[in-house]
Amino acid sequence: MNETEKTELKLYNTYTRQKEVFVPIRPDLVTLYTCGLTVYNYAHIGNLRTYIFEDVLKRVLFYNGYKVKHVMNITDIGHLTSDADEGEDKMVLSAKKEKKTVWEIAEYYTKAFENDLKKLNIIFPDYHIKASEQIPQMIKLIQRLEEKGYTYFRNGNVYFDISKFPNYGKLARLDMDKLRAGARVAVDKSKKNPLDFVLWFTKSKFEDQEMKWDSPWGKGYPGWHIECSAISMHYLGEQFDIHCGGIDHIPVHHTNEIAQSEAATGKKWVNYWMHGEFLIFNREKMSKSKGEFLTLDLLNKKGYSPMVYRYFCLGAHYRQQISFSYEALETAKSSYNRLRNKIMEIKSNKEQSKPNEEFVKTIKHNFLERINDDLNMPEALAVLWKVLRTDKIGNKEKYDLIVEFDKIFGLLLERGEELLSAVAKQKVDTELIEKLVKERYEARERKDWTKSDKIRERLIRMGIEVRDTSKGTIWKVKE
């Protein structure tokens, strides 16, 4: 990026309820944690909206020249049907329904989720970590809290005592007095305060709990919230830049994550909290535990491809609710198709050029301003449409801008998702292939035939066909 074009990146921080200029702890590297899926079922499209928002955030960080270290957890330990440590174990429930072991259930839905991310062209986290593989880190964190006097042990379970943490509820701006006075249904009688939460269970309410580990408090399993604190601190350090999730995580899950993390370390944990709004369906928030939900595959079967869904999501700001309806999706589909057709038209006549440096510079600057204004995708899309419609530049210049802007949108505007679906089916790593194709191209330019042949052979072993044309190297998945 040109220095003169630089504009500050501003992000809305839920913690302060303000847009703030983003300043990472380390100047060149952004540390990012996003809460992952509980893998007892498919992700519904409301969940996926959150992952699309987080993907856009990551792309905007890249565009601003940052490296990003991104960690996401996989909740493969049964947590309870409500966030408040009550209800039934979701994993056990699904396992019973599907007559599989809990481990099989978790494995199956983890794969399905990763496939959804691929189909949506979401850049994978650097670390996608199963909670079940981080039990020692969680135990260590609970011990730290215990040593500092933040916990109590009752009826077989270890609880976090929120009265010991004066900043409790700050993120959600909870009115603690009101909450203390308010009666709650099904309060766990062992709790000193209804908002205390379990760090470690040894007394399972569920008889056929299969997932249990040894711990200083007895054989059992961790509470849900502790996994995100333990995993993020293990991979990103005790303080990091951005933590994301859906807005439903604010009052309980993220509130509890902050309490236990900051109590353990005695310092501020996360600098920027970002939350994606709900997808509304039939006037309600889409929710897995309520049973009725739409998946990406279901939409696909109805003729709406993953890219159409991605385009639909980008049409609203991530902090606005979106009402989902098939009519709205149909509109997104026709816009996306128009966009793609227009781009194909430009691509097929790419030689036509009309340089206009001033225009290109201004439009790039406009684009950067929009994306750096708390990820304003609807307005960034408007800038893209402006590029397509203008007669101030030629097709060559338009094409270059489209390719550049699509680094943010991730809509496969120029490559098409036919390729991506083939890739998803065969589980091919596109980034690696693109890298190899580029290296091979560079080797050919240097006339280093040994290297270029070696890379070609490697690609063939990966099931990738490459073809050299006058316009560059084309690759595709072998039929």
Q: Which residues bind Zn ion (CB under 5 A)?
A: 35, 228
CB of 245 to Zn ion, least distance (A): 6
* DSSP-assigned letters across all residues of 74-127: EB-S--BSSTTS-S-BHHHHHHHHHTS-HHHHHHHHHHHHHHHHHHTTPPPPSE
Looking at the Cβ atoms of 141 and 423, the one nearer to Zn ion is: 141
Looking at the Cβ atoms of 63 and 273, the one nearer to Zn ion is: 273
Looking at the Cβ atoms of 35 and 420, the one nearer to Zn ion is: 35
CB of 257 to Zn ion, least distance (A): 6
CB of 474 to Zn ion, least distance (A): 41
Rounded CA-CA distance 443/65 in Å is: 27
Neighbouring-strand partners of residue 70: 32
Looking at the Cβ atoms of 35 and 428, the one nearer to Zn ion is: 35
Looking at the Cβ atoms of 35 and 60, the one nearer to Zn ion is: 35
> Which residues lie closer than 8 Å to 169 by C-beta, 6 or more apart?
162, 176, 179, 195, 255
Looking at the Cβ atoms of 33 and 336, the one nearer to Zn ion is: 33
Angle between helix 395-409 and helix 357-372 axes, rounded to 10 deg: 10
CB of 35 to Zn ion, least distance (A): 3
Looking at the Cβ atoms of 75 and 121, the one nearer to Zn ion is: 75
For 195, half-sphere exposure in the C-beta direction (CA atoms, 13 angstrom radius) is 23
CB of 261 to Zn ion, least distance (A): 11
CB of 53 to Zn ion, least distance (A): 15
CB of 225 to Zn ion, least distance (A): 7
CB of 180 to Zn ion, least distance (A): 25
Looking at the Cβ atoms of 113 and 399, the one nearer to Zn ion is: 113
Structure tokens at 35: 């809460």
CA 334 to each of CA 130, 181, 203: distance values in angstroms, whole numbers, following the listed order: 39, 52, 54
Helix, strand and coil in the chain, % to nearest 5: 45, 15, 35
Residue whose pair of structure tokens reads 């072993």 in the numeric block? 461
CB of 168 to Zn ion, least distance (A): 17
Looking at the Cβ atoms of 35 and 263, the one nearer to Zn ion is: 35
Structure tokens at 404: 């550049």
CB of 288 to Zn ion, least distance (A): 15
CB of 36 to Zn ion, least distance (A): 7
3-state SS class at 206: coil
Write down the H helix ranges in 410-429.
417-426
Looking at the Cβ atoms of 37 and 413, the one nearer to Zn ion is: 37
> Which residues lie closer than 8 Å to 220 by C-beta, 6 or more apart?
156, 157, 200, 201, 202, 203, 204, 212, 213
CB of 121 to Zn ion, least distance (A): 24
N- to C-terminal Cα distance for the chain? 39
Structure tokens at 6: 């630089």
b/e for 294-332, b at 16 or more Cβ within 10 A? bbbeebeeeebbbbbbbbbbbbbbbeeebebeeeebeeb
3-state SS class at 26: coil
Structure tokens at 212: 């249990």
Rounded CA-CA distance 365/232 in Å is: 35
Looking at the Cβ atoms of 35 and 411, the one nearer to Zn ion is: 35
Rounded CA-CA distance 249/270 in Å is: 15
What type of residue is 116?
D
Looking at the Cβ atoms of 195 and 377, the one nearer to Zn ion is: 195
3-state SS class at 158: strand
